[in-house]
Amino acid sequence: MKAPIALDLKLIEEIVSPAEMDAAARATEAAAQSLLAKSGLGSDFLGWVHLPKEAAKAASAVVKAARSFANCSDIVCVGIGGSYLGSRAVIDSLGGGKKTRIHYAGHHLSPTSFSRLLKSLNPKKTGLVVISKSGTTTEPAVAFRILKSWLEKGAGRAKAAKRIVAVTDAKKGALRGMAAKEKWATFVIPDDVGGRFSVFTPVGLIPIAASGLDITKLLKGAQDAAAAVQTKPFAENLAMRYAAARNLLYRKGKTVEVMANFRPELHFVAEWWKQLYGESEGKDGKGLFPAAVDLTTDLHSMGQYLQEGKRNLFETMLWVKEEEGDLKVPRDPKDLEGLNFLAGRNLSWVNEQAMRGTAVAHQDGGVPVIRLTLDRLDEYTLGYLFYFFEFACGVSGYLLGVNPFDQPGVEAYKKNMFALLGKKGYERLAAQLKSKGV
């Protein structure tokens, strides 16, 4: 079966030659084999590798749980990082939530934003999906406490309990204990799947299904991607070739990767991608810095830097061939803005020329450009794309020589925040921080 995505490396060849790519085959295939054999670093967190097929077996239970929100006009998804970015990327990309609006909380601590959210909701028509392995991460825990109290006060405790779904640890943790006591519907976050790789677990599937999108098609795309990237040799393997290309560019001093899209609805795909690669590779003083821009919008802000700034970056352009709808540029008799040369042209064609012109301009300006082209935006293609990125990320981390499946640096800010908030057991650290004038 033809892949719904294509990888174009022509615009990096001035820096990374085809011969260098060929020479990277052995090391890249070895890294991929380490993933499949679970013989590399972080092997305890490789449950995502074969997850699409396993997840498909439980899809009916997820769909059934999503139907419990049938009478809700709004659903609030409470989570942070991998607990919400994957589902939001899919939902925003495909326009899910048309019948039941999907909102997000627990990924910040802004009282203004939270207050505005609550004012826009009716507690008698709102459901909650809370996602946390421990239930104690500050941002989602605070958000859920506020939302649960608000929902119980407005709808009654018994009715509220029927409209709360908890996705958490199988046996332990504060959220698991609360769910058991209150008799909420629950789903499990697998022990061997890290948050940023969890979009094909109930973490991502529950909100996506609740938004009205088809998780069966999403998982089929991921299954087909897994079959391709796990078996094809380097010359035909899109994920291996992407991992090798970005690793070779990194070795040549290109330390920043900019994800660029030309469709505003892809914004959160890039946000999910940023977490996946930033948290997986940024350790031991190593790693590409992942950044993202929305084009053509950001060509009028970041475009100058991309064209002529420090040449330590490369660009990965995400392009979608098929649009859901199209518009023609009309002819104007007065033609005051001089656009009649485009009259009758489809807007999709205009956007494509902007993409092509930008790619060549940036490459001419010293920015290598990788192009990823999607046939269309639908559940199947996004499932394929997300698994492609996950597998490439694991391979890329191993090529870099880091454990792509831990995140020890994330804990530093949490400890400091606990100390400053006055959490028991952090008194000594609080004193140290205050002595520094924090």
Low-confidence ranges of the chain (pLDDT < 50): none
- Structure tokens belonging to residue 321: 């061939």
- Structure tokens belonging to residue 378: 């639908």
Which pLDDT belongs to residue 436?
83
- The C-alpha atoms of residue 333 and residue 337 are separated, in whole angstroms, by 11
* DSSP state letter for 365: T
Which pLDDT belongs to residue 426?
84
| Terminal alpha carbon distance of the chain | 57
Q: Which residue do the tokens 């291996």 mark? A: 240
pTM, two decimal places = 0.95
Which pLDDT belongs to residue 431?
84
Evaluate whether 5 touches 237 at the Cβ level (below 8 Å). Answer: no
Provide the residue type at 315 as one letter.
Answer: E
Which pLDDT belongs to residue 101?
95
Evaluate whether 314 touches 249 at the Cβ level (below 8 Å). Answer: yes
Q: Helix, strand or coil for residue 104?
A: strand
Which pLDDT belongs to residue 435?
86
Which pLDDT belongs to residue 437?
79
Evaluate whether 26 touches 236 at the Cβ level (below 8 Å). Answer: no
- The C-alpha atoms of residue 128 and residue 144 are separated, in whole angstroms, by 9
Q: Helix, strand or coil for residue 433?
A: helix
Q: What are phi and psi of 27, to 5 degrees?
A: -65, -35
Which pLDDT belongs to residue 41?
95
Which pLDDT belongs to residue 422?
83
Which pLDDT belongs to residue 263?
96
Q: Omega of the bond prior to 296 within 30 degrees of 0, cis?
A: yes
Nearest in space to 319 (alpha carbons), one of 387, 377, 393, 380: 377
Q: Tell me which residues are annotated as active site.
A: 279, 300, 414
Q: Which residues pair with 131 in a beta bridge?
A: 167
Structural domains in the chain, CATH included, are: 5-40+218-398 (3.40.50.10490), 51-213 (3.40.50.10490)
Which pLDDT belongs to residue 427?
86
Which pLDDT belongs to residue 172?
93
